[in-house]
Amino acid sequence: MYQDLLLLARTIEYTPIGIVVLRTDGKVHYVNRFAEQMFNQSRETLLGKIIDHSVSDYTGKVTWEEIWTAMLQGELAEASVVIEPPGKDATVCKVQSFFIKGNENYQDSLALIFRDMTQDIRITDQIEKKNLEMAKMNSELIRSNAEWKRVSEMKSNFLSIASHELKTPLTSIKGYSDIIIDNMKDKLDGSIYRMIESINRAADRLHKVVNNILDVTRIEQKRLRLKPELLDLRAVIYDCIDELAQFSLKRNITFTCNIPDSLPSFYGDKMRMQQVFTNLFSNALKYSPDGSSVWVSVSLEESDKFHIIVKDNGIGIDKTEQKNIFYPFYEVGSVNSHSTSYSSFMGGGTGLGLSIVKGIVERHGGRIWVASDGVKENTFPGSEFHITMPVQAEIHWDDDETRALYIDRMEPQSYIEENLPHVDEKPTILFIDSDREAVEIARMVLESAFDILVAESGESGLTMALQHKPSIILLDSYLPGLDGYRLCRILRTQEETRDTPIAFFSAGTQNDEIQKCFASGADDFVVKPFSGRELVDKIWRILMKKKEGQFN
Ligand code: ADP
């Protein structure tokens, strides 16, 4: 028994935790060796003393005396304290206590166990400091992210507005040059005629760029609308190859297709899918040497996914650039200077094509990536563009009106020609538009087949419509004073014009603008810049539908 007690006493004495026993008056009754080290004072110095001057509360809110008194009274079991021993650095300790009830041999006492927490607290402090720094960095990141989003939105809005603004003057350039090309070839000197043709081609190119910018902003703002239908993917691909024949023949580049006859129908937007293939094929042509080949293959993966590969043996794409080329406005620098013995490849695009392709593919629930061994001097490693697309993508028509509009656009040309209405009297068109140039072009294109009336404001348009009861009204949405939408609503309430076909005539192609036109009672929409042929076709179609009673 005595041996056991001795062992216990030694254990307490040498345990690596500071143990201090206080009497009820706060004076030290016992300290073990570790406590001697913690207080940096010998047992002899500490015994019978009060240690209040060496210990303080970690938070500094209470005194050590208050702490041990509360512990003695059973009100507090644990506290964090700082021990400041003479001639030694302070240590931060967690102190736990328990009361020892006295008997005839010894008085009531308070046992205190001091655990050195300096290291832990230092680490916690560091973690807290780091957390604080991270929180600061995080809030800076959130701020710069918000700023980036704001700038990016501003850029998209700017591009969208600038592109719309460009469309109006483009209407004049394209319209007038169309008229000259169609009607004045014999009257013009050959060189002037060629210049006009060049202006016309430049206007077409600029129109494409403007449309591409609008597409990029639609994709960035998640506003790309799809009009899906069941498609024969094989036919879509072959049509796109045929469309590029003039370029592939000139460069002696052959397309080889491996597309099974028995592919299931694909549910997607025809016009957008044509855009995807035309972009990929024209890039393959653009970045390949004369006389090379382009391969197109389509296969079914797991029966519900198409895997499309467009492979060329052109200049290839550097591995580090393969992700970047799908960002808008990104062009690989080396492309501009690359040349071979056959021909030189001047990239010189806008860097928009692939970002649009990616946006369209992803909008159909698909994925696109590129594989290439990279660019090597004087060799043609080629590039392979891969697309996977669900056969039945979960996409919907965005609304019935645009569907109607779209189906209208898809009617074959022969349908229009066969069904041109035979009229004894020239129909009258009333243009209500303040854009004089556009009206002038329309007049020149249409005046042989129609009587033309023009009003430059909503108010005068209303008067003329009621007075002349035209066969069709074409009006612009942006009119000074009474705007196009309000005017259209008024026309629909008037006896004289209730059933007159009305089409909007505007540079806006945003879906909400189109919807607004239909909502205000219009029957159709003509987008500027238009070609003369487009305008004639559209107007005939509107009149024909009217005749067949489709608007009622
Ligand atoms: P661009 O109008 O410049 O062709 P794209 O977005 O279509 O714009 O392509 C971005 C860039 O990707 C191109 O400038 C070109 O550097 C590279 N690229 C695209 N397709 C190919 C290809 N088939 N072979 C080599 N480089 C290509």
In this predicted structure, the answer to whether residue 260 has a pLDDT above a threshold of 90 is yes
More confident residue, 376 or 254: 254
Looking at the predicted structure, is the pLDDT value of residue 509 above 80?
Answer: no
Beta strands in 52-140 (DSSP E): 55-57, 78-83, 91-100, 109-116
Strand partners, 425: none
Lowest mean pLDDT among 33-47, 166-180, 253-267: 166-180
Question: Separation of 351 CA from ligand 1 center, angstroms?
Answer: 7
CATH fold label, 2-116: Beta-Lactamase (3.30.450)
Query: Cβ(353) to ligand 1 under 6 A?
Result: yes
pLDDT of residue 423: 53
Cα–Cα distances in angstroms (integers) from residue 295 to residues 241, 260, 285, in the given order: 11, 14, 11
Inform me whether the pLDDT recorded for 397 exceeds 80: no
**Residue 350: predicted pLDDT:** 77
Mean pLDDT of the chain: 83
Q: 92 and 18 in contact (C-beta within 8 Å)?
A: no
Q: Please state which architecture CATH assigns to domain 148-225+398-552.
A: 3-Layer(aba) Sandwich (3.40)
Alpha helices by DSSP H, 431-531 = 436-446, 458-468, 484-493, 511-519
Count of CB atoms within 10 A of residue 212's CB? 21
Look at ligand 1, atom 16, and give the residue with the nearest C-alpha. Answer: 332
pLDDT at position 442 is: 78
Note the pLDDT tens digit of each residue in 440-451.
777 777 777 778
Give which of 368, 392, 398 is closest to 266, Cα–Cα. 392
| 347 CB near ligand 1 (under 6 Å) | yes
pLDDT digits (tens, 9 = 90+) for 435-481: 777 787 777 777 777 788 999 899 999 999 999 999 899 998 888 78
Confirm or reject: Cβ of 331 under 6 Å from ligand 1.
yes
Element at 235 (helix H, strand E)? helix 233-243
Query: What is the separation of C-alpha 49 from the centre of its chain, rounded to a whole number of angstroms?
Result: 74
Pairwise CA distance, residues 350 & 279, whole Å: 12
Taking residue 444's Cβ as centre, other Cβ atoms within 10 Å add up to: 18
Q: How far apart are CA 312 and CA 314, in angstroms?
A: 6
Kindly indicate the confidence band of residue 426, based on its pLDDT and cuts at 50, 70 and 90: confident
Alpha helices in 264-309 (DSSP H): 270-286
Separation between Cα atoms, residue 334 and residue 174, nearest integer Å: 34
Q: What is the pLDDT of residues 61-78, one digit of tens each?
A: 899 999 999 999 889 889
Our answer on whether the CB atom of 215 is closer than 6 Å to any ligand 1 atom is no
User: In sequence order, which residues have a C-beta less than 8 Å from that of residue 108 and are 6 or more positions away?
Assistant: 23, 24, 99, 100, 101, 102
Distance (Å) from CA 208 to ligand 1 centroid: 17
Q: N- to C-terminal Cα distance for the chain?
A: 112
Q: Give the mean model confidence (pLDDT) for residues 42-60.
A: 89
Beta-sheet pairing, 254-258 with 293-301: parallel
Tell me, in angstroms, the distance from the centre of ligand 1 to residue 18's CA. 73
421 backbone dihedrals φ, ψ, rounded to 5°: -70, 140
| CA nearest to 225, candidates 405, 410, 402, 388 | 402
Query: Where does 360-450 show beta strands of DSSP type E?
Result: 367-372, 383-390, 428-432
CATH 3.30.565.10 segments of the chain? 228-390
The Cα–Cα gap between 502 and 526 comes to 11
Ligand 1 neighbour 381 (Cβ under 6 A): no
Res. 419 pLDDT band, cuts 50 70 90: very low
Query: Could you tell me the two tokens for 541?
Result: 């179609």
Condensed to tens digits (0 to 9), the pLDDT of residues 101-148 reads: 888 877 889 999 999 988 888 888 888 889 999 988 988 888 888 888
Contact 417, 396 (CB under 8 A): no
Q: How many angstroms is it from 359 CA to the middle of ligand 1?
A: 15
Examine the pLDDT at 533 and tell me if it is beyond 90. no
Regarding pTM above 0.85, the answer is: no
Most confident range (mean pLDDT) of 39-53, 208-222, 506-520 is 39-53
Q: Rounded to whole angstroms, how far apart are CA atoms 310 and 306?
A: 13
- Please report which confidence band the pLDDT of residue 404 belongs to, taking 50, 70 and 90 as the band edges: very low
Dihedral angle sign, alpha carbons of residues 53, 59, 63, 65: negative
The pLDDT confidence band at residue 534, using thresholds 50, 70 and 90, is confident
d(CA 35, CA 84): 13
Residue 367 and residue 255: Cα distance in Å, rounded? 23
Q: Find out whether the beta carbon of 287 lies less than 6 Å from any atom of ligand 1.
A: yes
Residue 304, pLDDT above cutoff 70: yes
Looking at residue 507, its pLDDT comes to: 67
Q: CA-to-CA distance for 338 and 381, rounded, in angstroms?
A: 13
pLDDT at 341: 35
pLDDT of residue 551: 47
The span from the CA of 273 to the CA of 261, in Å, is 19
Strands 228-231 and 266-269, bridge-based pairing: antiparallel
Residue 374 pLDDT level (bands cut at 50, 70, 90): confident
Q: Which of 356, 349, 195, 210 is nearest to 285 (CA)?
A: 349
Position 282 scores a pLDDT of 92
What CATH number was assigned to the domain covering residues 228-390?
3.30.565.10
Q: In angstroms, what is the span from residue 283 Cα to ligand 1's centroid?
A: 6
In this prediction, residue 408 carries a pLDDT of: 37
536 lines ligand 1 (CB under 6 A): no
Which two structure tokens, joined as six digits, stand for 457? 């404001």
Does 402 have pLDDT greater than 50? Answer: no
Q: What is the pLDDT of residues 510-527, one digit of tens each?
A: 566 777 888 899 988 887
Determine if residue 83 is left, alpha or beta; phi over 0 gives left, psi from -120 to 50 gives alpha, anything else beta.
Answer: beta
**What does the pLDDT read at residue 349?**
67
Q: What residue ranges of the chain are covered by domains with CATH 3.30.450.20?
A: 2-116
CATH 3.40.50.2300 domain position(s) in the chain: 148-225+398-552
Residue 255 pLDDT greater than 90, yes or no: yes
CA 400 to centroid of chain Cα atoms: 26
Count each helix (H run) and each strand (E run) in the chain, helices first: 18, 18
Q: Does the CB atom of residue 269 touch ligand 1 within 6 A?
A: no
Q: Does the beta carbon of 314 lie inside 6 Å of ligand 1?
A: yes
The pLDDT, as a whole number, for residue 172 is 82
Task: Determine what percent of the chain is predicted with pLDDT higher than 70.
Answer: 88
